[in-house]
Chain A
Amino acid sequence: MIRNRRRLVNPGIAAVAGTVIAVSVGIRQGWGPALLSAVVLVGWVTLLYVLGGAGTDTGAVLGQHHDERQQLVALKAARLSLIAVLGAVVGACLIAALAGYPVWPFEILAAIIGIAYFIGLRVYGTSPDEPEPQQPQPRYSKLGFRQDRTAG
């Protein structure tokens, strides 16, 4: 049951994000392009759900029931995906600059990726300045008796 619920996480996130995008497209560009976005979204969500039930590493990662090795596989896949996104952002930036279009949306994307990377290093890394674990200091009462010892 829990496994089935976990399987809904990724398709659910994609459905919510895709619906927001499709509605935004509908409001600004008309409901024709929005319908196309919705069709692509339904296909993508279905694919995520179906793959999430497969008995493979891909299924385990997409279905949120991965073990430690599959988590490592997911991290490596995410790293590859990040490199592809960075390449796409740099490429889009170059094309936009050469074609005379504004490049700031791509610069914002690149900045978000860079900042997130350094936040990740900070959050998941260990500082060399981190103090060594201290032995608990004995506690004494005002009369000088140790208080952290139990009788016996």
Chain B
Amino acid sequence: MSQADLAAALGVSRQTVISIENGRYLPSLPLAFRIARLFAMPIEKLFDPDAEEES
């Protein structure tokens, strides 16, 4: 799945997908749930709050 496909599936821009991938932007809870549902994974597997605290 390309970044553009992912962005279209989530209803956000490709720049936002890039920012989330690079850890420059933490998505809102609704968007995080949409991402988790899309990949059929729990949120805590996709986003690690401890990693954010360390940076």
> Which chain A residues have a beta carbon within 8 Å of chain B's beta carbons?
56-57, 60, 66-70, 72
The reply to whether A68 and B12 contact each other, CB–CB distance below 8 Å, is yes
User: Which A residues are in CB contact (< 8 Å) with B31?
Assistant: 68
With both beta carbons as reference points, the residue of chain B lying nearest to A69 in the complex is identified as B16
With both beta carbons as reference points, the residue of chain A lying nearest to B16 in the complex is identified as A69
A/B interface sample: 15 pairs, CB < 8 A: A60-B13, A66-B13, A67-B11, A67-B16, A68-B12, A68-B16, A68-B27, A68-B31, A69-B16, A69-B19, A69-B25, A69-B27, A70-B13, A70-B15, A72-B25
B12 touches which of A56, A69, A72 (Cβ 8 Å): A69
The total number of A-B Cβ pairs within 8 Å is 25
A70 touches which of B11, B16, B27 (Cβ 8 Å): B16
> Which chain B residues have a beta carbon within 8 Å of chain A's beta carbons?
11-13, 15-16, 19, 25, 27-28, 31
